[in-house]
């Protein structure tokens, strides 16, 4: 807890009796210490106690600290002492660091002994003049000191763990820590989160450098609506990852048995350049029993001839780290027209055939008897 000696002055001020009950002040002027500069540039302090040599002169007397032109805190009864001892009196006032302020004691009724500065002789409240100011010290609090960065650990493609350690609390208990991070070393557009000294920040972009700094909070900074000074900057980089899903997948039928797919590149390449794409097709919407075509770095693909049924398609990008996320799927139903199904050897013939019969091409389905069964040719 910071402490400063109260300065002497040749003629401390006294008040008159200001009420029938006998209210009296003795005070001097002090230039307050300049507090630690906070994150918003202010330098406020919290004056906590006045530690003055004071006692009752001929009996117990009730005394309060006088600070900033007003009595502060609670009255405390002090017994008579011919040579006063140092008494600690609570003030609890936020003030602008470096400003000039009155300090002293306030009491009502009875006589008081004070220890004068310098030689330390005793003076009573009945004196009409004073040789020097009240003797004693003042304790105060300021903003916490800037923390010390420890570093970044636990990097993934989307998270980093930042660590730091605290230093001086400035004379007032730490009430919390703030951690700030940004893609910019000047912390423009920064995000600020609470921390306990070790914080894992998630939702980050892959393969990206992030900058961090930390600051402490106590009663002084809270009163000023800010934090203590920021630590020095430390940084870390997320890992590269696989690409995101391609976008805007479109399916265009080219014929009754063939389709064309087009898509756009993923919004994120995962921090590593896209090297190609994979197209998957299946007659099942869950893409079980599917086939996959591996392509170069293109944004279009044309199917082969598709047989009858509903076909489902989807696409994903590939980079050096592996396969990315699948796009949403598109489907198309193929219905053959013009020719009936041709079964040959128990299997559907993929392309219709014609039979040359009696000097002309047959235009209606014909059958031939082979191997003990009729086979539909057309």
Q: Distances in Å between the alpha carbon of 250 and those of 147, 163, 256, 263?
A: 53, 47, 17, 6
Confidence (pLDDT) at 135: 81
Residue 324, pLDDT above cutoff 80: yes
Place of tokens 């570093």: 151
Lowest-confidence segment of 5-9, 89-93, 315-319 by average pLDDT: 5-9
Q: Could you report the per-residue pLDDT of 251-269, keeping only the tens digit for each? A: 999 998 999 999 999 998 9
Share of the chain above pLDDT 90, in %: 64
Residue 126, pLDDT above cutoff 90: no
Place of tokens 């075509």: 293
Longest pairwise C-alpha distance within the chain: 146
Tell which CATH classification among 1.10.10.60, 2.60.130.10, 3.20.20.140, 2.60.40.10 matches the domain 247-334. Answer: 2.60.40.10
Q: Could you report the per-residue pLDDT of 148-185, keeping only the tens digit for each? A: 999 999 999 999 999 999 999 999 999 999 999 999 99
pLDDT bucket at 111, cuts 50 / 70 / 90: confident
Strands (DSSP E) found in 154-306: 160-165, 176-182, 191-195, 198-201, 209-217, 234-237, 247-255, 258-264, 274-282, 291-295, 300-302
Residue 284, pLDDT above cutoff 90: yes
How many degrees, rounded to 5, is the angle at CA 278 between CA 277 and CA 280?
A: 150
For the segment 11-21, the average pLDDT, to the nearest whole number, is 46
Residue 19, pLDDT above cutoff 70: no
For domain 148-237, the question of CATH label 2.60.40.10 is answered with yes
DSSP 39-106: TTS---EEEEEEEEEEEESSS-EEEEEEETTEE-S--EEE-B-SSPPEEEEEEEEEE-TT-EEEEEEE
Per the DSSP assignment, residues forming a β-bridge with 186 are: none
Confidence (pLDDT) at 366: 54
How is the chain split into domains, by residue range?
3-141, 148-237, 247-334, 343-376
Q: Could you report the per-residue pLDDT of 59-110, keeping only the tens digit for each? A: 999 999 999 988 999 999 999 998 889 999 999 999 999 999 988 888 877 7
Burial class (CB in 10 A: 0-12, 13-18, 19+), 289: exposed
Confidence (pLDDT) at 17: 39
User: Do 148-237 and 247-334 come out as alike in CATH topology?
Assistant: yes
Q: Distances in Å between the alpha carbon of 280 and those of 244, 268, 308, 311, 331?
A: 16, 21, 18, 10, 12
Of the candidates 54, 62, 60, 61, the one whose C-alpha atom is nearest the C-alpha of residue 113 is 54
Burial class (CB in 10 A: 0-12, 13-18, 19+), 52: buried
Of the candidates 47, 40, 126, 116, the one whose C-alpha atom is nearest the C-alpha of residue 83 is 116
Confidence (pLDDT) at 373: 61
Of the candidates 269, 212, 271, 217, the one whose C-alpha atom is nearest the C-alpha of residue 246 is 269
Q: Could you report the per-residue pLDDT of 197-247, keeping only the tens digit for each? A: 999 999 999 999 999 999 999 999 999 999 999 999 999 999 999 999 999
Q: What is the CA radius of gyration of the chain?
A: 43
């Amino acid at each position: 807890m910071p402490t400063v000696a109260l300065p002497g002055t040749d003629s401390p001020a006294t008040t008159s009796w200001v009420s029938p009950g006998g209210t009296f002040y003795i005070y001097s002027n002090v230039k307050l210490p300049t507090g630690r500069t906070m994150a918003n540039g202010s330098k406020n302090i919290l004056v906590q106690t006045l530690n003055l040599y004071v006692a009752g002169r001929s009996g117990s007397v009730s005394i309060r600290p006088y600070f900033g032109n007003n009595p502060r805190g609670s009255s405390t009864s002090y017994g008579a002492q011919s040579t006063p001892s140092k008494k600690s009196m609570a003030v609890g006032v936020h003030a602008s660091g470096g400003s000039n302020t009155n300090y002293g004691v306030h009491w009502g009724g009875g006589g008081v002994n004070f220890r004068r500065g310098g030689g330390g002789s005793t003076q009573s409240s009945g004196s009409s003049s004073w040789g020097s100011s009240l003797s004693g010290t003042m304790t105060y609090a300021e903003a916490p000191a800037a923390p010390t960065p420890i570093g970044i650990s636990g990097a993934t493609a989307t998270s980093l763990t930042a660590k730091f350690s605290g230093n001086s609390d400035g004379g007032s208990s730490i009430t919390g820590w703030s951690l700030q991070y940004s893609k910019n070393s000047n912390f423009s557009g920064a995000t600020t989160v609470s921390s306990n000294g070790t914080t894992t920040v998630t939702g980050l972009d892959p393969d990206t450098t992030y900058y961090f700094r930390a600051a402490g909070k106590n009663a002084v900074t809270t009163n000023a609506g800010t934090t203590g000074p920021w630590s020095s900057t430390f940084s870390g980089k997320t890992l590269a990852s696989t690409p995101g899903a391609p976008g805007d997948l479109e399916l265009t039928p080219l014929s009754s048995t063939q389709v064309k797919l087009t898509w756009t590149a993923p919004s994120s390449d995962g921090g590593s350049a896209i090297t190609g794409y994979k197209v998957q097709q299946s007659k099942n919407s869950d893409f079980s029993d599917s086939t996959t075509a591996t392509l170069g770095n293109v944004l279009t693909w044309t199917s082969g001839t598709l047989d009858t049924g509903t076909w489902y398609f989807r696409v994903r990008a590939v980079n050096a780290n592996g396969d990315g996320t699948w796009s949403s799927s598109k489907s198309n139903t193929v219905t053959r027209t013009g020719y009936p199904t041709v079964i040959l050897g128990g299997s559907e013939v993929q392309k219709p055939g014609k039979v040359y019969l009696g000097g002309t091409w047959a235009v209606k389905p014909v059958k031939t008897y082979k191997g003990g069964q009729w086979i539909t040719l057309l």
